[in-house]
Structure 1
Amino acid sequence: MTENKIKKTTEEEKTRILTSTGVIDFKKRLNLVLEGVSGNAFAKKVGMSEAVIRDYLSGKTYPALNRLAIIAQKCDVPIEWLATGKGECRLLAESKYSSFVHIPFHHLNETSKSYSQIESIPFDMTLIKHQGCSCEDLTAVWAKGDSMEPTISNHDILIVNKAHYKPIDGYLYAVEYEDQISIKRIQNQGVNLALLCDNPKYPAIIGDKYGQQDFKIIGLVVYLLKDLN
């Protein structure tokens, strides 16, 4: 019983020290350092296993000094800041621990005069990780027209994962069609591939699944940002 009490006290003291020094929040700073890349890609970047990085990100373990130094050097951040949160860091200018990244808009043609000056949109990296996406695979598009009403309205913003462009029935995809970017719902119809509109007054676009198509799939829609005005 005495041994268990001593062990409990030791754990409490360890937690107190980690908290007072700022080390306990290492996982938050590491999430920021990832800058939107996947855990696997980051592990390769710093020369460590994905399992090790996963344990760091969950707060299960903390890196030894040599590994901390490698991460700091590979990611161009101060080792003191990475370990304790103290000092200056280039990553803190726009996004302390909220971890926002800027997703660029997909440019094909000018989509809207009123929005033409907006080049990117800030987005929370935790939502990106929730979808299992890498930041470099994402692009943003403006919705135009009413062909996808009531699901999508004119001037809504959609976040698209370009790594997922193979069509799956029922899902929404951004496509290039007739020199425009459109959002359509995919449906496999035997040898044909149909791009469906949620608004019934618009006809489906039918293409040969195995032949030349009049449209190109940009990627899978993973988030929809509604314009409430």
Structure 2
Amino acid sequence: MKNDNSVSFPTKGKETFAERLEMAIGNTSVRAFANAIDISEGALRKYLKGLSLPQIDKALLMAKQANVSLTWLLAGEEELPNTHNDSETATAVAISEFNEEFILIPGYHVAVSTGHGKLCPDEQIKRHLAFRRKWLKFRGFVADGLAVVFASGDSMEPTIHTNNTLLVNTADTKLTDGSIFVLRFGEELYAKRLQKRFDGDILLISDNKEYEDQIVKADEIDKLHIIGKVVWIGKDLY
């Protein structure tokens, strides 16, 4: 049964994310709302102008702050919760809906990765990206073995461009010819295709043919640490 004080959102004419976000913010100033969810005012204004869309974790923060349903904010589905009553319940429902549908995977910045065989210690996590549970299950991935890193450089173009997002399965470190791995050789991190040669050497292959393949000699294999296989690439189209 609906609460008599609940507010149904008039979807007519409010079909875009930007329009729903504007209504959710209401009379709160853009600056105050941005500060409350720890994003820049400029980024929030881009969302309000329809110039870009937030990642799921940011959208969740917006929904919680505005006390609206995450599914309504993202897709225009369901009703807009009452902004005066049952705020804790509404927030709990939004979080529950999100957790049921998505898993947050920790994101690291490759440039600050340290240690051997691991991406980073926990304190180096910079952000989280949301992935659908059904997709992870379909691919056979375990969330605890996944990490997000961000590419740097042009050696893997056109497959990977600088600042592209890479999902790495750290549970898969078995060398398979032609697959792309995040690896550490010495103190440097790379995203390269790997190929094992008959003499025991391993080739680090760049998709950008302006770069020569690197060779890890058989007697240097102990310096090579495969961190995980790249299983997904996220990139902007322009």
Give the TM-score of the pair, scaled to structure 2. 0.51
Q: Is the 8 A contact 2:168 2:230 kept in 1?
A: yes
Larger Rg belongs to: 1
Amino acid across the alignment from 1:104: P
Partner of 1:80: none
SS in 1 for 2:135: helix
Query: Would the alpha carbon gap of residues 189 and 107 (structure 1) be closer, same or farther in structure 2, given more than 3 Å must change?
Result: same
Query: Would the alpha carbon gap of residues 218 and 185 (structure 1) be closer, same or farther in structure 2, given more than 3 Å must change?
Result: same
1:156, 1:117 → 2: CA distance? Answer: 17
1:182-193 correspondence runs (5 A): 182-190=190-198, 191-193=200-202
Partner of 1:105: 107
Partner of 1:48: none
Partner of 1:173: 181
2:216, 2:196 → 1: CA distance? Answer: 10
1:159-170 correspondence runs (5 A): 159-170=167-178
Give the C-alpha shift of residue 107 in structure 1: 5.4
Partner of 2:234: 225
Is residue 125 of structure 1 aligned with residue 133 of structure 2?
Answer: yes
Partner of 1:83: none
2:223, 2:93 → 1: CA distance? Answer: 43
Amino acid across the alignment from 1:134: V
Give the C-alpha shift of residue 123 in structure 1: 1.5
Query: Would the alpha carbon gap of residues 89 and 136 (structure 1) be closer, same or farther in structure 2, given more than 3 Å must change?
Result: farther
1:152, 1:185 → 2: CA distance? Answer: 11
How big is each residue's C-alpha offset from its partner over 1:113-160, in whole Å with a ceiling of 9 and x where there is no partner?
A: xxx984221112222112101000001110110000011101000101
Give the TM-score of the pair, scaled to structure 1. 0.53
Is residue 201 of structure 1 aligned with residue 203 of structure 2?
Answer: no
2:176, 2:148 → 1: CA distance? Answer: 20
Q: Which moved more, 1:90-99 or 1:199-208?
A: 90-99
1:130-141 correspondence runs (5 A): 130-141=138-149
Residue-pair matches, total: 139
Amino acid across the alignment from 1:172: I
Query: Would the alpha carbon gap of residues 127 and 192 (structure 1) be closer, same or farther in structure 2, given more than 3 Å must change?
Result: same
1:214, 1:201 → 2: CA distance? Answer: 25
In the alignment, structure 2 segments of 5+ residues that lack a partner are 1-88, 114-123
Partner of 1:152: 160
Query: Would the alpha carbon gap of residues 166 and 209 (structure 1) be closer, same or farther in structure 2, given more than 3 Å must change?
Result: farther
Amino acid across the alignment from 1:225: G
SS in 2 for 1:146: coil
Q: Is the 8 A contact 1:131 1:222 kept in 2?
A: no
Q: Is the 8 A contact 1:168 1:186 kept in 2?
A: yes
SS in 2 for 1:133: coil
2:211, 2:154 → 1: CA distance? Answer: 9
1:130, 1:215 → 2: CA distance? Answer: 31
